[in-house]
Structures are given as C-alpha cells and as structure tokens.
Structure 1
Amino acid sequence: MIKAVIFDLDGVIVSTDQLHYEAWKHVADQEDIYFDEKINHRLRGVSRMDSLNIMLEKADKTYSESEKEKLAKTKNDYYVDLLKQLSPNDMLPHVYDVLLNLKEQGIKIAIGSSSRNAKTILKYLGISCLFDAIADGTDIENSKPAPDVFLRAAEKLGVSYSSCAVIEDATVGIEAAKKAGMLAIAVFDAKKSEQADHKLDDIRDLLSIV
C-alpha cells in the first residue's frame, strides 16, 4: 500500500530547464566553450559538478578543481538570480490539484530533488507548506542515479521505503527510485526507461495508481 509520494522537482512540479540552460550558457560563453540545448539536455537530473564536467567536455583547456568550483558557483549565482522570475503560475499543469488531492486522501507528499535550490524554488512557487518533507542536494552526498535523496525523503516522512512511490521525469531518477525499492512512476522523458513501473501521459493519472 502506498503511503507516500515523493516528487522530483525540476520537470515534474515546475520546468526550470530553460533557466538552467541560460545559466550554463552564460558560463560557457564566458569561457568560450560551445554549449547548446542538446548538451543541456544531458544535464537533466545530474548534480551540479557532474553537469559542469559534461559542459567542459567541449573546453579547449583543462580546469583545476578550484577553477571548476568557481565556475559552478558562477553558474549557480546566475541561476538563483533567474529563479526570481518564478511564480505560482509556473507550476506545470494540474500539479497543484494533484498535490491537494493526495493530501485530502491522507497520503504524505515529499520532494526528492538533487537540486540545492529546491527550497528556494518551492518558496517562489508558494507551495512549500504543502509538503510533509523536503529532501534535496543539501541532504545527500550522492546524486541520482544513487537512491540517497529518495531514501532520505522516506526517512524524513517516517515511512518505509516500500510504501513510497516516486514520480520522475528523468531516467536516472527512475533508476534511483528502483534502487530505493520504491514504486517508480515516469512522466515525460522518463517514460523511455524500461525500469518504470508506470508511465503517465497526464499527472492526474497518478491518483488512480496510489
């Protein structure tokens, strides 16, 4: 029996892909590194430093660890500034109604995101108070496809791993959910994953599963 649903944030609750792209493009242009939306797509669900390393594959020079840290900070500072544009109107369709419906059913809900900016994003969306727990990049050492963030979310909820469902838009997130022993529900790009237990065309269909 499903007692809790853990939501990825970027791409499930809200789409920040364009903002990430603009921030990484800002850094790439400063460093004269080729970067396009195809490369940006590879960064979905990936930690900040791993994303930076993917971006640097096109670089003409080798960067030291301290230089990489500086570039990552530049990207994040620019991204955080872009986040100020977000409002409740930026939530993906039907998400708010689904969250309310789950709460009315007594099902706990949590965020399980690798982003270190999850709490900031939720604040701008105006929905922080809806979630029973938030597990993000500040809580873990290993990003997806490691299961850490979902395991941490379940622990914060006080619910067994096997009683949790995860809803994800990235294949690495589905892999992480399965490693955590949780029901893996895919939307958008994650529907390509053969590991997904359910594949949704509409997030409202989640209500018929849990």
Structure 2
Amino acid sequence: MKFEDIKGFAFDLDGVIADSARLHAKAWHQTADEVHSEWTPELAEALKGVSRMDSLEMILKAGGHENDYTEDEKVALATEKNTKYLKLVESLTPDDVLPGMKAFLDELKASGYKMSVASASKNAPAILKQLKITDYFEGVVDPAKLHAGKPDPEIFSLAAGVMDLAPEVVAGLEDSGAGIKSINAAGELSIGIGNQLTEADVRFADTSDVSLAAIKDKLA
C-alpha cells in the first residue's frame, strides 16, 4: 500500500493506545494463581490480543487444568477476572495514554483521517471514556459480533466497516503477533509496535515513534 492510499486507521487498544494490557495481566495473574497455573512472562505475552475465554483456556492449559473445570465454572472464572479488571480500569486517566499516541490521534484528526478501534476487549468503550478519547473514533468493533478472534481477519475487516472504508485503504496498528496476522489477512497495511513483529509491513520500536511522517518515510 502507498502512503497516499491510506484513508483510515484501525487501532488495537491494549498496548497501542493505552497500557491497559498491564491491568489485564494483573487480573489474569490473580486468576492463574487461583487455578494453580504458573504465571510466566511467556504466558503473559501469549494472552495479548486474545479473547477472554480463550485466555482462560490458555491459563488452564499452562497448568494442565483444562479438564478440571466445567463450562459454567470457566465462565464464572472469566467473569470474576473481568470484575477485577473493571475495578482496575476505573483508575485510568488521560495520563495513561501511551507516549506519543495522543499526539498521533490529534495529527490524524487534523489531517482528516478516519479512526476506529479493533479490540477483543468488551471493555474498550469504558477504557476510551476513562482516557477521554472516545470522540476521536468513528466507533468500536463490538466483540460480541465476532465469530473468531485474532489472528482471524474478521475484527480488522469490521474495523474498516466501522469507518465505511474498504480494507485496502486502512492501516491497522497492533502490538501482538496475532494482531499483525489479523491485519495482514484482512488486506490492510500492518503497523507493528515492537521490533519483534517481523510480519508487520511497518515497524516501530515504541508508540512514541509513530507519526504520519514516520509512516510515510518507512513506506517510501
């Protein structure tokens, strides 16, 4: 995709706009302790961008406990985790927007680009409200409408639809490998936050490095 073709940007939320990923990790760590699965940096990384029930399954499997709970018990565990997480979300302020992202949102708005949020989190609207950036976006993909999570392309295809744009004129921003695969499969330009995301079309080491000029330069 050429820089001039881009008409809109679809943002993952956790780890791209805000460090709400650390809140998820804190709540999931408590769940892992509860079910006696060892919490490791590898497990924490693997959960990024993954739906709530899929995350729980990964935590249970990590400790060999995937068959120790009924479906109702799993739903209860996931609900309990979400309650803990929402309490943590209430502590977020505009200062929790990741470095450089507020300036980038301002730049996109001033330049006339459309924006949407492609997050697997059902709590994305609450997070955006706490960060006071809801009005920047055309809308948020409703995770309840998804048939498959990342790396399936569905969420980023829907994010393009939220902006009333075709995928081929949309750039998606992600900080996870599953998210980059999702963007690529949707036929959009993938912008990775993290040098380890080798499948991304464009990579930045940190959110503070992202700007329209930097994207244009990397695509040249």
Q: Name 1:76's counterpart in structure 2.
A: 82
How many angstroms does 1:48 deviate by?
Answer: 0.9
Query: Contact conserved, 2:35 with 2:60, CA < 8 A, in 1?
Result: no
User: Which is worse superposed, 191-200 or 41-50?
Assistant: 191-200
Matches within 5 A, 1:26-175: 26-57=30-61, 58-60=63-65, 62-175=68-181
CA distance in 2, matches of 1:176, 1:136: 16
SS of the equivalent of 1:166 reads: strand
Segments of 5+ residues of structure 2 without an aligned counterpart are none
How many angstroms does 1:6 deviate by?
Answer: 0.6
Identity of aligned residues (%): 37
Query: Contact conserved, 2:197 with 2:203, CA < 8 A, in 1?
Result: no
Structure 2 length-normalised TM: 0.89
Match of 2:197 among 164, 176, 193: 193
Cα 1:139–1:206 change in 2 (3 A) is farther
- CA RMSD, aligned part only? 1.6
Query: Contact conserved, 2:100 with 2:210, CA < 8 A, in 1?
Result: no
CA distance in 2, matches of 1:64, 1:202: 41
SS of the equivalent of 2:144 reads: coil
Match status 1:207 vs 2:212: yes
Report the AA paired with residue 198 of structure 1: V
Aligned residues: 208
Instruction: Describe the superposition over 1:69-127 as per-residue Cα deviations: whole angstroms up to 9, x where unpaired.
Output: 11111111111111111000001011111101111111111111111111111111111
Structure 1 length-normalised TM: 0.93
Segments of 5+ residues of structure 1 without an aligned counterpart are none
User: Which is worse superposed, 199-208 or 40-49?
Assistant: 199-208
User: Once superposed, which parts of structure 1, at least 4 consecutive aligned residues long, lie more than 4 Å away?
Assistant: none
CA distance in 1, matches of 2:201, 2:174: 11
User: Which is worse superposed, 5-14 or 58-67?
Assistant: 58-67
Cα 1:206–1:132 change in 2 (3 A) is same
Query: Contact conserved, 2:92 with 2:130, CA < 8 A, in 1?
Result: yes
Query: Contact conserved, 1:139 with 1:149, CA < 8 A, in 2?
Result: no
